[in-house]
Each structure stands twice: as C-alpha cells, then as structure tokens.
Structure 1
C-alpha cells in the first residue's frame, strides 16, 4: 500500500512539473513573463537572440580589413574558404576578395598569400553600435531601401489580404530558432503564391523565386518583395503583366533565412543560419544553407567546408537544417519530376518550370551545374534562357567554375537535378550591403525586367527563349467602336541576349509573326498574321504591322497576344496589349416639335 502511495506521489510530482513547464512555455509565448525569464528559457534551449557582448564593444569587423588576395590554384582557394570570409572570386585573375581580421592577415603572410587592402570596402564595413543607434522597425539602419524581417512579413501579409483572388500566403516551415525554442523565438518561412485563382482548366507555368539564403546579401529580399508588389499592383492595368498571373503560378519566398537576417539588422555580416549546435562560437556559428542541399551534398573536394566555423560549413548531413527542409519540401509540391534518374538524363524539351535563387554579389548569373564544370544535360537550353534573362541587367552568364568557383549542396542544383526545371542563381550588384542609390539605379528595374522574362518563359523554359522577343507593341486606337479597325505595331527582335561574340546566343532572321485574341497561342484556335513593315522577313530585327477588324466583337476589353518566329521555326514568348471596344451610344433621339406658323400662312 505504501509503495502504491509513493508511486502516486511520483506521478503527481512529474505531472506537476510537466504542467508547470507547459504553463511557463505558454506564458513566455504570450510575453506574460518578464524579459529575463524569457531569455533564460531561450538560453536553456540554446537560442541566442542577443549578442553576448554590447554591440558597441563586440564588432565583427573591428580592426578587420577587406582585402584582395592572390591565390595560385584551386587547392589554395579551397584553403582560403576554410580560413577567411571570402566574399567574391575572380577566377580568371585568380584573386579573391575577403574580410580578414588581424590574426588572419598574419596567417596569410605566413602562408605566402599576397594581399592588398580594398580601402573603400573597408571603410564601408558596418558598425553594430551605429546600427543599434539607428534601429527602425521598417527599414535596415542606414539603408532605407531595404525592409526588415518584420516589415517584409507584414507587407507580404497585406498583399495577400488586399488581393485575395490573386495572392495566397503560405507558412512552409520554421527557422532554426523557431524549431529550437518551440515557437518562442524565430520566424515562419513564408511563400507568397501569385496567380489568378479564377483562371483554371489549363496547365500553368511555375516560377519559384527564393531570396536571403545568405542574409547579409541585402538586395535579394527586397527584389523578391518588389517583384510581388509589381505583379499585383499592375494586374488589370498592364496587360503584359496581367497575363503572367492569369497563365502562371509565381511563388516568392523572400526570407529563406529570417533568423540570420535579424542579425544583419543589428549590423553583423551574417551569412549562415543561426544553428548554435555546431560547436563554433558567436558570431561564426551556423550552417551555410546554400551548401546544405540534399542533391549531391558534400559531393566534390573543396566545394563546401567541413569546418564548423567556416562561412561555407555544409552541416552535419544533407538537408540537416529546417530552412533547407522547408524549401526542398515546398519545391517537391510545386514541381513535377521531369528528369530521369541518371545524372546525365536531360529533362524533356517541354519541361514546365523555372527556379531562381537570388544572391549577391558579382553581377553574374549562374546555370547548372554549380558543383562541376561538366555540362549539364540541358546545358544549351539553360544557357539560352540565362542569356535572355541576363540581357536586362547586362550580367555575365556562366557556369560558376568558369567565372567564380564551384560549390555543392546548392538550391539551384537541387531544383535542376531533382526536377529538371530550368534553375539559376543571380549574384546581384557589387557588394553585400549595397547602397540605396546603386540599388535603385542599377538593380531594381533591370532585375525586375529579368524576372518578368523568366515568368514569360516559365511554362516552356527550354523552348520559348529560342524564339524572338516582341517588344514596343502598341494598338491605335486603343479604344474604339465595334466595326472599326485597330492598327497593331510592334518590333520582333532575335538579338536580345547577354554577352557578345561567341559568348552570346546566335541571332536568326525573323520568319513570321502572329497575334491571337484573349488567349495565348497554346490555347488559341485562330490567329491573324503580322507583316514586316519593309515588305520582307529577312532581318534579325523587324518592324511589324497588322490590323484587327472589330466587327462582331462585343463591347469589352480584349487582350491581344503577339508572337514572332525565327528562321529555325522557334516561336518566342508572347507579349500582350489590350484594346477596348465600346458600345455604340444609344442616347434618346431629339423630340420633333411642330413648327408654329401664323394663321395667315395656314
């Protein structure tokens, strides 16, 4: 009997502890305990949301410089990855740009690595103390053009609320902090899906854009968010953007690594996620999410690092991090597997889907493979679309080993290798903490145009970029009565490709052009032709002209899709414009009054 009482007491005691723990957890979640208790709870969980020292005392860049380092071969470069924070590599010159501490400067000198300081970049290194003084909930301190994590999440939610038929915000997973703290700290990883939910019954193109795997690359999250805002704000106003949501699904994940981004907001040059289990001290803890992917993880020598303190640390196993798991799981839901099981199996020419991973910096655009210089099975199609997208910002389009360095475990290799979709990595701009004037003048418009082209090609990324672009399309008059004629003009251009000489796409003569009404070519049943203004299709750029008789059209707005074909028979992506047919005025006829005449005239 006494044993039974003892057992009951133990069970009651354990149950009480569990209940107390649950109540404490709920109280912390609801912020109903004082901040020290919350921090104690997070500390026990291994979650650090504040620097171990005052940011005015602990500065990642204190006494560090940015330097250009000469290296001799691939082995020497891989050694640098493990020892210093490499920012950029210029493969042809065999130089690397890196931030190096005084101790690292001594090591470089001892190991025979010549280096010179980049004084302008050194002067621009962030100061966490200054960031703390300029704290702002809407924008990153000193960089008003970049939203904070909080502001980005709020704006994405607002877009979904304001456009319920066009946008849906989905929670696709948790950050490392959120998993570790059971939701007390950290963030959701969110995907904003843009499409006209009322347009159904046909195959839609799929485009996925992710940003901020490396949170110190400030431009990436803002570009992704601006892309969403552009598509939604212009829907119904710009027909060439409207059709993108009618016939595609565009998925935008602006903050893959929200935890790391919060440290950037405090002035730290944070690259990895915030995993503190690696055994490396703050602020070098974490895993490089773009080396943690499950496709050919840790595949090639020097393509990632096993050093837990390296900024290129790949993690303990493939897809070990919750952020990586969230993105890969989501991509499996979006894309069909369209490539064979063999490493050398190409995806079919009619593959659907484009994946874009936004990074910085270098003014580069990479196509697979990123882990090898060996051509990917769809190399020609990947390079062609890359050159078309690279045309707008005038970026160099290349395999990474050709113009920077190779790396494994990347999101781009995962997307192409697993599904066969056309996948790319952008390296935006000229530095991580890009100034707002440069961002607004040389990145925003150019990259948004590039992303619009990606959306146009998303349904058939290995086919549509082979054809000419239709630009400068117009209709005159744009508003007219039924039975009247509208004149269509445009330019067909097969020369718009990044690069020059042998490093660009060959241009073909234009051979035909056409337009369809209220449906793109893959859904239209009838077409009208456009003619070359000079009377002959014989050039790589042709001015086009055509007419549309509106007899029989009911009053309303009509979308006109224009396409051009090259001499090899390739049709390019459509460009859309709109016309409005207005009803004939039906005003009341004037009343006829009998004229009064003097009696003598009657």
Structure 2
C-alpha cells in the first residue's frame, strides 16, 4: 500500500512540511516563492531572530544570498528560497513571540496556504515498495537489469531492522565487440525528507527500459552505457519519514545523543564524503545540527557504501590518489578524456550544482563543468548553483559530488528538483520527473566524454522526409550556443561556428574512431555560424529492408564534437517504388522522448508537413523555426 496518501495541514507551514511532536503536527520553518504569499514573510525577520539569539545567529538559505544582520526578512525578492531554523530553536522562537500562527491565518492567505500544503502524496512508495519495484524491474527485464547490494543501513548493521543499500544496473546486452560501454551513476535519497528524488529516478529507470527498441536515443544509450542507480541511499531515514515520526527528518538513523530530542538525531549523509570533510563553513560538528557531518568521513555505512562503489566503478587511472593526495591536488585538472559521470539528486529549488561546494572556488575543469551544468539545466529551466555564479547559495563541505570529482576525477553534478520536499503527485508526474529525465538523458549521452562533449554543438532537431522515391531527405538544426543562453556566466567566448555535421548510418560514432560518416551540407551554403541547418539526401535504395539507425553529430570550429542524437528509419519493400511511403520520421529537441504519460517516440509521416508531437514544431518550418528555438 502507499504510505503517503495522507493530507498535511498546519496553520503556519510555509513550505508544506510539518513536524510531529508531543504537541501534535508542528511546522518546520521554511519559506518559498515570495510572490505567492507576500504578506506572510513579515512574521519572522532576521532582526527578530537576531534579537532573540544575538547578532551572531547564522542563517543560510538556498535561492538567495546568505542573510546578513542588516537584512530585514528571511526571504528576498521573487526567488524560490529554502530557509531552515533547526527544531531545537523553533520552540524558543515560538515562545518568544517571534512566530505567530494566528498572524498568518489572519493575513487573508490561509486558504492559499492550505491549498499549498494539502498534498496528495499517494504516488510515493514506501522503502520496501521501492525495493520491491527494483526487484520487479529486474525480473521483467532480466537481460537488462541486475540488482546488487552495496552495503547496509545503520539500523541493519546494528541489528535494529533496517535495509540493504540496493543498486540496480541498467544495460542492454550486446555482442558487438566495437561497443565500449561507459558508466553513469545516479544516487537519490541521501536526505530522507526529500520525497521526489527516489521516485523520479525510479521513473527514469522504467522509461529507459520501456523505451528500448522504440526510441533510438534510449536504445543506443542502454547499448553503450551501464547506468547504476541507487534509488534510496538513506532507507532508515526515509522509513522514519514514511511512518510520520518526523516529516522533516533529514539524516540517517544513527543516534549521537542530541540533547534536543530524537528529531535531530542522525548524521547528514551528504556532509560525510571525504573531499574537504570537516570544514565548519559547510557542515557542523554539532550532533543536533541538521548538517551534522559525523565523527569522521564515511563513518556511516550508507555514505561509505555509495562512495566505495563509486570509487571502484570508475577507472583507477583517472584518480588523483588518496584523499590527502587529492586535496593537495585540488587545483590540478582531471584528464579531458576521462569517462563516466556521477549524478546526485536532491530536492528542492530547481537547481543544478557542480564542484566545488566547500567554498566558492572554481574547479580546474570549471569550463567543462559549467558548460555541462548549463546544458543539464536547460530542459527544466533550472538555475545554476556553482562557483563563479550569482546563484552560489552556500557552502557545502563533505558533499558527494565534490568527492567523486575531486578524488576520482569523475564529472559530477547535483540536482535540487521540485518546489518543496513534499511535492504532490501532480507536480512530481507532470513537472519534476519529466524535467529531470530530460537532463539525465543529456548526461547519459555525454558520459563517454563529459569534459569535452558539452563543449560541442547540440543537435536540436531532426527531420527525415521520405516522400521521394528511393531517398530520404535529412534535415537537422544544430547549435553551439542554444542550450547555454541565459544560464551561465562564462569567461570568454564559449560558442564557436559549426564546422561540420555528419550522419552515420547503422554505425555509432562512439564505437569506432575510424567511422567517418556522411558529411551533410550547410543549407545556406557554408558552415560559418554558431547556429546552422544541415541537409543530406540519403539514397535508401542501397539499404536493406528493415530497421536502420541514423546517428547525427555536429562539430564546432574548435574541434569539439557534441552529443549524438539518433532516429530509427524503417525501410520496407515499397521504399524503392512508392513515393510517399510512410518512412518519414521527425524528432525535435532534447528530451521529447518523455511525454506526460510516458514516452512519445519518433513520429512517422508520409507527408512533408510531418506530425507534431509533444514539444515539437513542424519540420517543414525548420529553417525558419530555428530562430525561435534560440530564444
């Protein structure tokens, strides 16, 4: 059964998350989306807090700058923010008169507040249901999925119930010796109160498996990538949340004797990782802090399991050595030809973040990390949280992405998805999951060379028109800049002119460096701009009857080749004689594979007008439409 099919209601809940205490359901102090509830945010101000705790009170929040003593409010203009005051201090603020439940209800916004926190959460599975779903996928797709146990939760390790830490590995079987598979690791559920990440990554796994053989991109990704997914890194903590013991519980279940109550027990698993562990500006040594880093790096079985697996997964020749050696080499760039990618999924705020987080410090591979982050952010219109950006929110030491990049040289990125910890099912299924899926798809396409592929041009649209006998007219729009506009601050000129666009028939360019493909022509006569349309007339009479795959890849004037995009082309007995035979396909944009109800696969057409699916524009207007695609 689904455990989250309940409704939460509090008089004062600014983010829809409640705490269960002896006095009943009590809100955790968080605020988001200042534009929705403008009258409420005078209830708690930094001056009130400072007067209660003194000017040294340090409040951090996501989505805005760190608060200073002179700031009036806990929120700043028009951004999604997240601001927590630990539960240990909540009662003090309440009894001191700083918080007022009645004040909020009387502001005239009670109805809107209650609408925001009465959430239907029945789509969220329990820990056991999630692990059962993992096993079901492995049984249903036995040739594609294997399940491993990489460790135990703290409770299980200590004989108090608990769970195994499970990972599922998705990969399609292949007998082609030319295929060199690379690894991508996705972790969710470090923080137990963050409901959407585990469910979103489980949905992505299902979409990949269901899409194999139906969508060309999903097919080649599974054929050439081992995708390792940890759906719940902190199962004990999530069980605490699911049992309603504490809706705001964040850490694992390891008690450290916090004198302020069991609600603040545990260790923050995402302050546990060894790169620059122990920095007080990005974590805490106080067991009662929600950012308590534990007694030593990787002291907790959950974080140790994740990092040990990641360290064994990626190539040894990429690594910087021991933890001490890696910290000493913090300014030494990782090899540009390093393979593999690591993703850590959290909620909330709609951000993509990247190393380093222990301080506002650009990593030596900053250009690549920033470019990839920008392109990962584009499908979901995420903001960037990273060094050198206006959106660098606060310091995080002991973060998983800092460690996997800083020590193992794996290109590493994190997501903060959704608008709140307890996003309702409508938001999860209509917005959170589809946006994340598109970003993960881009990451998977780039996993073979994540430090170089994002620097290359992207294939924005593909059109294949077979209305002419014995040929297919191929048209693609490519850009070296479209996916980074308005997302990132770059030093220097990132975008270059398109140098060439190639199409490969039944041969993936990643499989063999000697595969040259077919050079496409610039529609306007020459490749000399960062945005181009390329065309090619493919003779289909030479193709065998059956399904073929067309792979497209563009290269810029600096020599960087971007990610591959693909479509299926089915050739039948009528292809050589029937004008208008239904062989045409059209595919537009990144992530159009993911429709609201599952997968929207490549659309077939026998007319140049083409069929326009979800997020698609008609291919006949492709040349004129490219300008709008750049907006």
| Structure 2 partner of 1:348 | 335
| Structure 2 partner of 1:133 | none
Determine which of 443, 448, 458 is the counterpart of 2:437: 448
| Structure 1 partner of 2:607 | none
| Structure 1 partner of 2:275 | 295
Determine which of 408, 414, 417 is the counterpart of 1:425: 414
Separation in 1 of the partners of 2:239 and 2:22? 17
Retained in 2: the 8 A contact 1:557–1:579?
yes
The answer as to 2:359 corresponding to 1:381 is no
Unmatched tracts of structure 2, length 5 or more: 1-18, 32-40, 69-73, 75-81, 576-631
Retained in 2: the 8 A contact 1:467–1:494?
yes
The answer as to 2:385 corresponding to 1:398 is yes
The answer as to 2:532 corresponding to 1:553 is no
Separation in 2 of the partners of 1:243 and 1:187? 34
Once the two structures are overlaid, the 10-residue window that deviates more, 426-435 or 197-206, is 197-206
Retained in 1: the 8 A contact 2:150–2:166?
yes
Q: Secondary structure at the match of 1:314?
A: coil
The answer as to 2:123 corresponding to 1:145 is yes
| Structure 1 partner of 2:454 | 465
Separation in 2 of the partners of 1:114 and 1:76? 20
Separation in 1 of the partners of 2:275 and 2:517? 44
Residues 240, 59 of structure 1: alpha-carbon distance in 2 compared, 3 angstrom cutoff: farther
Residues 534, 78 of structure 1: alpha-carbon distance in 2 compared, 3 angstrom cutoff: farther
Retained in 2: the 8 A contact 1:492–1:543?
yes
Separation in 2 of the partners of 1:109 and 1:469? 56
Alignment of 1:248-267 (within 5 A): 248-267=225-244
| Structure 2 partner of 1:178 | 156
| Structure 1 partner of 2:213 | 236
Retained in 2: the 8 A contact 1:199–1:246?
no
Q: CA deviation at 1:330?
A: 0.8
Retained in 1: the 8 A contact 2:267–2:291?
yes
Retained in 2: the 8 A contact 1:392–1:449?
yes
Separation in 1 of the partners of 2:55 and 2:397? 15
The answer as to 2:495 corresponding to 1:495 is no
| Structure 2 partner of 1:285 | 265
Q: CA deviation at 1:235?
A: 0.2
Q: CA deviation at 1:148?
A: 2.0
| Per-residue deviation, residues 552-589 of structure 1 (Å, max 9, x unmatched) | 4333322111011223222111101111233589xxxx
Q: CA deviation at 1:383?
A: 0.5
Separation in 1 of the partners of 2:346 and 2:532? 36
Q: CA deviation at 1:365?
A: 1.0
Alignment of 1:87-486 (within 5 A): 88=62, 90-91=64-65, 95=74, 97-98=83-84, 104=90, 106=92, 142-181=120-159, 185-199=161-175, 201=177, 202-267=179-244, 268-280=247-259, 281-298=261-278, 300-337=279-316, 338-340=318-320, 341=325, 342-399=329-386, 402-477=391-466, 484-486=470-472
Retained in 1: the 8 A contact 2:370–2:488?
no
Larger Rg: 1
| Per-residue deviation, residues 246-283 of structure 1 (Å, max 9, x unmatched) | 11111111100111111221232110001124445322
| Per-residue deviation, residues 119-167 of structure 1 (Å, max 9, x unmatched) | 779758989xxxxxxxxxxxxx930232221221111111111112211
Scaled by the length of structure 1, what TM-score is found? Answer: 0.76
Alignment of 1:64-103 (within 5 A): 65-66=29-30, 79-80=57-58, 88=62, 90-91=64-65, 95=74, 97-98=83-84
Separation in 1 of the partners of 2:392 and 2:100? 21
Separation in 2 of the partners of 1:175 and 1:474? 49
Retained in 2: the 8 A contact 1:355–1:423?
yes
| Per-residue deviation, residues 435-486 of structure 1 (Å, max 9, x unmatched) | 22223333222211010000000110011111111132132339x99xx222
Greater helix share, structure number = 1
Q: Secondary structure at the match of 2:124?
A: strand
Residues 111, 556 of structure 1: alpha-carbon distance in 2 compared, 3 angstrom cutoff: same
Unmatched tracts of structure 1, length 5 or more: 1-54, 128-140, 586-602
Retained in 2: the 8 A contact 1:78–1:302?
no
Q: CA deviation at 1:420?
A: 0.8
| Per-residue deviation, residues 414-436 of structure 1 (Å, max 9, x unmatched) | 11011111111111122111122
| Structure 2 partner of 1:539 | 529
Residues 153, 379 of structure 1: alpha-carbon distance in 2 compared, 3 angstrom cutoff: same
The answer as to 2:566 corresponding to 1:576 is yes
Retained in 2: the 8 A contact 1:212–1:359?
yes
Retained in 2: the 8 A contact 1:383–1:398?
no
Separation in 1 of the partners of 2:344 and 2:20? 34
Scaled by the length of structure 2, what TM-score is found? Answer: 0.73
Residues 376, 66 of structure 1: alpha-carbon distance in 2 compared, 3 angstrom cutoff: closer
Determine which of 517, 533, 543 is the counterpart of 1:527: 517
Q: How many aligned residue pairs are there?
A: 508
